[in-house]
Chains A and B, each alone.
Chain A
């Protein structure tokens, strides 16, 4: 940031994240909870807010919220209740939103956020409560608004952080860490394109000038639905608030309090939003239609037992136990099922390094093409283990193994039968192997001379000859045997 004086600027950033929970049905009725269906087809008297309809809370939504809360180190409240937040809007058919006001389900906690430089930042969590989402307003017509209530009443987890972040990068990293966590726990698909995660950062600056501390108003920006918008918005606000404060010394928290601004994705700027006069008069009161939720230790213990190892501890374990690099370990801990493949293949007797190479090579490339995770490519841990062991035993070469994998990904099948069918099994016939080795030696007299003379490029020359042998054998020469035979012949 450019400062004209010796001002010391500390951005203070907190965030609310709305996460759509991946339940089969809505929060208070048994309509389908799904994105992309024809408008107003997943609706019923309850979620349309018709008179006399009564809501019944979805147990899965409560348990998903508890699971996320426990993974965030929150305390699950022994007693929580439901409140009505009253306001009138066409996408909110009951004219109130059911939320949790003073007794939220999860309280306190923190998340470990990995930063780009490999450091880990801890961000405190104030609360994580359950509430219902509104429907969707479509504004494509200039004179009227179209309303689709398929989303009305679907469960949302609202996670409120402490103002612990200090840069756009940290805000983005926090959002990504939360996405990884809720996916890891299978409580949300956390698909940004489908609006499963929405961010509301609040941002202000602490400015130290000549020993005095100045604070700018806290700016809240609603409804950001991509990491890029989030980061751009925070960066813009940091610059804008500083510029405005320098122009206007009254631009302070004390004088102006909080301010709402909207982010325009096209211009990359935020614009001031005048508060509707009584917007904050929500008149919360306990919902008489819903009973409180009481969570005993047995229940929260059952949910805690489903959590298992979290992404960052697992990443550290992979580096320690399997000697993977940071990059490899990070790539294998983006979601739980992909990492499980590695653990299960190792448990089945394969070496971690081989399995990692298979996963992050051909399988990662396929996942990338298909836009899915590694586990969804369809290769099982058992198949990975078998293929890795075949490579270790020299039954298939690395290049042959890759061709086997391609075939398995496309057509299914087991490693050994696929290698046989493609005629890729290494040749164990010594006479055939000897023929390839001899051919490589005869065809490259200068290279052989280099090696025999003990040239400093001898290692590279050996590698070249091995490459020739593999080429001549179309990948079927067992590398270890071929290498041993080559050595014997080079000495002899």
Chain B
């Protein structure tokens, strides 16, 4: 279906990534936002709180991020598209119930505008060091979907996409942006509503009394049950069967966790979104996501000018990791390079998939500012030697 015209601020705007992200959520039909202020994410909440009253949305500033995460789960089960935003310290607090959202298979969107960490770290400066936390930060076994915008325009577009994925796969979806993108102001073109395609939630058409909250634990997505319609369903964060009833044994655990994992793994090709350039015939491929994928551009241009055959992959989705593609390329190229604002997180996945088939390089950075393109250039040069 198409976006609701009342939600879409059509036109060309001059927005920072955070405001654009808020507009993306609104355009996607988000009608409940629960959040807790934290730099550098707060502008998303501020934007939404200002825009919601006249379009039928409810913004609530909660008592903390634990509450925010839970409130969006409750509202999602109540039928509202829901989102929250935060940064490192709040992301840590959200992890507990991000896991509940995965376990209950609840669509919603969680935006992390990453800053430097650990702990209070660098409140006002960028980082990309929550990437493994996004992947593994809640306890237990599961798969996640995480997107990384590189600009205000993408912040708008990927927030809509995140809502669509969350409804399609019935799970919380992460937007792992960063302070740079969040606070960089650029032109953002918001298209007319008829050009914004939205995935609507699928509700079960099984009549009350016969429907369970999950159909089969086979890695496929079950339609949800609506509240208040007589289904009188039960859902629990405990390991459960398709009835949503707790079952505390190893077989149920196997089925439940395999289902959560397979839901993403079986559909990885549909979910994974890479923007590739100059890959054919490349000797070296540089991978990056979010702001780092922009920062690497001058370095790649310089290397190309010198005749180095360098390809690039911008990971629009970081999780699930593009295993298949990296394995393929590792057979063909001399080296692969990961540029990220941390000391090697997504790099670990790249290196694992390369499995010694080509060189693996990390261009790490502690955060606080972006990479110096010169460092990226030097590594590219080194790699093709």
Q: Do A and B come from one complex?
A: no
Chain B residues proximal to chain A, CB less than 8 Å: none
Chain A residues proximal to chain B, CB less than 8 Å: none
